[in-house]
Copies of this chain bind each other. A is one copy, B any other.
């Protein structure tokens, strides 16, 4: 099958990224190129299905449906990779939504694979991001955004787990018995460190802005409540990172998502907390970096789920 984008022989797949507030899709080639990319805010559509149809339609309209050999999907978790369904905690409209079937209907006869958005971010970062130059044998990718997600790449292979839910770092307890989480547990990382929860905490403590971007801007200006909100998030994320490091013997953690885009106001206290709280020697080697790929990491990783075995992935 020839590629529709002019690069003869290059295989092309559809990548889909279902976030808590935005849906993105792209055509991705086997060398990591992304000739077409589209993104829509979920809030602009009557239903998640309509948003999905729009964003995938925009990509297939440009690439030509025939040129697409398969689809990889990253979705906010939890996912059920056996059933091919998703129940994103932050999209109340979808519970056990048969996402693989929905995308398969758009691409009859072609393989469609599903993983968590954090898993895809990790895989994309491993394939085309920082890990390409500083190889990692045990890498955790995290998305800190509307929610907090994650994924593992172990010895070069994504570790997805028996039901596809490995890497759910947003829902480990850093404050057992603490504040309830929509997941049903309490004291989860996400309750402290997701963008909306950081904003909620800051507003309850007298800060008057509206979103995580404004919170980051105020933290950069030295606003004490904003700084404290980032310190709390950094402490929660550091505990989670050291926990994952103790369990997976991690060497590298790469963090993306809207909150991570805040830069030094997050990463400075985060690296201090990781270094300061590490006990056992093997935990001290863990590097913590912001993503080098931005939002594309998730799309590249989703594509890598279905790219041919002879690809670099």
Contacts and interface: CB of A to CB of B under 8 A. Distances in A.
Contact of A172 (B163, B243, B282): B243
A249 B164 contact: yes
B279 A160 contact: no
Nearest to A176: B239
Interface in A238-253: 239, 242-244, 246-249, 251
Contacts of A161: 137-138, 248-249
B246 A247 contact: no
Interface of A: 77-78, 80, 87, 137-138, 150, 152, 154, 159-169, 171-176, 181, 183-186, 188, 235, 239, 242-244, 246-249, 251, 277-282, 285
B171 A246 contact: yes
Contact of A249 (B163, B248, B279): B163
A280 B165 contact: yes
A185 B183 CA distance: 28
Contact of A174 (B160, B169, B176, B188): B176
Contacts of A160: 249
Nearest to A273: B176
A165 B282 contact: yes
A171 B243 CA distance: 8
A77 B281 CA distance: 11
Given A138-B162, A166-B248, A173-B277, 18 more contacts: A77-B280, A78-B280, A78-B282, A162-B251, A163-B249, A165-B280, A165-B282, A168-B280, A172-B247, A173-B243, A174-B176, A175-B176, A176-B239, A183-B280, A185-B242, A185-B280, A188-B279, A244-B247
